[in-house]
Amino acid sequence: MPFCRTKCSFCNFASGVFSRALFDRYVGQVCAEIEAANDTARDLGGQLDCRVDSIYLGGGTPSVLAPDQLQRLFRAVRENFEVERTAEITVECAPGTISGEVIDALLGRGVNRVSLGVQSFVDKESSSVGRLHSRAITLDDIARLRSSGIGNISIDLIAGLPHQTEESWQLSLGETIGSGVPHVSVYMLEVDEDSRLGTELLAGGSRYHAHFVPDDDRTADLYLAACESLEQGGVQQYEISNFARPVTHGIGLRDSKHNLKYWTRQPYLGFGVDAHSMLFAGDDLHATGIEAVRFATPDSLEGYSAANDVAARAEQLLASRTLVNAQAALEESFFLGLRLNRGVSVTALKAQFGDQAIGSCSTVIAELIEDGLVEHWADRLRLTSKGRLLSNEVFARFLREETVDLH
């Protein structure tokens, strides 16, 4: 969902502030895309299983939509897919946008999980990057969601915001732990030249509070402090950026079932601006050595909206299609699976891809182990603490540009 109340200075996502007059047309286009999902999968050569155990409405800020627009989106999904009774259904919300009417709309469509883009519980830090909420508003939203019956709440935090110090970071972590939410995501601020803050940082300027942004080493220290504090607070790390509390009266963590699909290379289908999809290859493509099909919609509202009918949308998706062969699928399995604390099972990868294919990555693996970035643990490979801080370097070593780009 590309709509927001305000554009954060650090954001380079396909989102922005648009007239509400655009909302209804956009929702209609997304619903049409959902209705065409079966034909889309067939035309792009992918397999589509219409059973759904996870739905994620992300942003931007989906909660700025009117309740009837939210209902239309979820109705389109339920009318075209078989949504399992126990499905995890998540909506991203910005604190301060969750009205009683929005909560009623979410509950009416089976939403059982909310991800709050808090970023910081320190008002000075939040306002410095353009966030409109305060600590008090966030805590009130959490309380109202719980009282409505939505207790499965995730909080996003960012390490490295302007004005952030070790002391203020501990305040945010303390509020997060004290709130009792079952899931937390912690991201290190990335300096992206396509964002206003990133441009100013790279230029050495002072607009957007750029001169108050902690340096990379300090940001890394903040991330490590979060890992330690959350663990001590009973919120366990299970992925580079994600932490969860143990399930009450059960085994496991209250992790994000939806995000786990990405990291374990399960198929997923995305709709809307800058939405990415991955489907396993259909029989015809699989017979040629293709394992999966990846495709995406345009990364701007203008580009996405230019497709006025199903045929035009199909052309957009076909133009973006990438066919993933076995070698590329193996490399994806490594760099996606290594994001998880449990790492990847070598035995399972050998069963799927064969001993010889695994052997093709042996040199890279040996180098990563020697550099202290990856370690053996039972039959698994997993990142070390150092490896999590340098994860992009680790993942890059597994990429050999083996995907097949055929349109």
pLDDT tens track for 263-287: 999 999 999 999 999 999 999 999 9
**pLDDT score for 350:** 93
CATH topology assigned to domain 21-259: pyruvate-formate lyase- activating enzyme (3.80.30)
β-pair partners for 82 = 51
Select the highest-mean-pLDDT range: 8-17, 29-38, 189-198.
29-38
The whole-model pTM stands at 0.91
Which has the higher per-residue pLDDT, 249 or 289? 289
Check pLDDT > 60 for residue 141.
Answer: yes
Judge whether 6 and 130 are in contact, CB under 8 Å. Answer: yes
Task: Give the domain ranges of the chain.
Answer: 21-259, 326-398
pLDDT (tens digit per residue) in 318-334: 999 999 999 999 999 99
Judge whether 181 and 95 are in contact, CB under 8 Å. Answer: no
Domain formed by 326-398, architecture: Orthogonal Bundle (1.10)
Of 14-28, 105-119, 216-230, where does mean pLDDT reach its minimum? 14-28
**Read out DSSP for 81-142?**
SEEEEEEEEEEEE-TT---HHHHHHHHHTT--EEEEEEE-SSHHHHHHTT----HHHHHHHH
Q: Which residues contact 183 (CB under 8 A, 6 or more apart)?
A: 115, 152, 153, 154, 155, 242, 243, 244, 245, 254, 255, 256
Which pLDDT band holds residue 13 (cuts at 50, 70, 90)? low
**pLDDT score for 12:** 62
Looking at the chain, the whole-number percentage of residues with pLDDT higher than 70 is: 94
Which pLDDT band holds residue 304 (cuts at 50, 70, 90)? very high
Alpha-carbon span 70 to 271, nearest angstrom: 14
**pLDDT score for 217:** 93
Of 177-186, 189-198, 284-293, 386-395, where does mean pLDDT reach its minimum? 189-198
